[in-house]
């Protein structure tokens, strides 16, 4: 099984975070998506709002509010949603190991 480019970048980022935590490197600028289309991500995965919320640890009400533009995900949630968009299996693996 070959690792995706995103998977390699994720491992590199984890190693960089460890170096920053140890004081061996300085942090680079953080990327936070300005907007994220939660409904498109959820539909691409073929999940209901409730199933998407359960699978990724969100409340169903939050998913509904994001999709109906009543609320906007906070920056860290937008980052997580971007990872779910690109590599949902990686998030599922990480959450199942908890």
- What CA–CA distance (Å, rounded) separates 53 from 34? 21
Chain segment 1-25, per-residue pLDDT in tens: 466 787 778 888 888 888 887 888 7
- What CA–CA distance (Å, rounded) separates 11 from 73? 25
Chain segment 58-91, per-residue pLDDT in tens: 999 999 999 999 999 999 899 999 999 999 999 9
């Amino acid at each position: 099984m070959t690792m995706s480019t995103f998977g390699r970048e994720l491992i590199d980022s984890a190693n960089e975070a460890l170096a920053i935590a140890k004081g061996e490197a300085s942090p680079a600028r953080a990327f936070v998506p300005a907007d994220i289309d939660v409904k498109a991500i959820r539909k691409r995965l073929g999940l209901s709002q409730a199933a998407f919320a359960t699978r990724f640890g969100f409340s169903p009400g939050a998913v509904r509010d994001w999709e109906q533009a009543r609320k906007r995900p906070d920056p860290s949630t937008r980052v997580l949603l971007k990872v779910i968009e690109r590599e949902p299996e990686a998030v599922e693996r990480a959450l199942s190991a908890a």
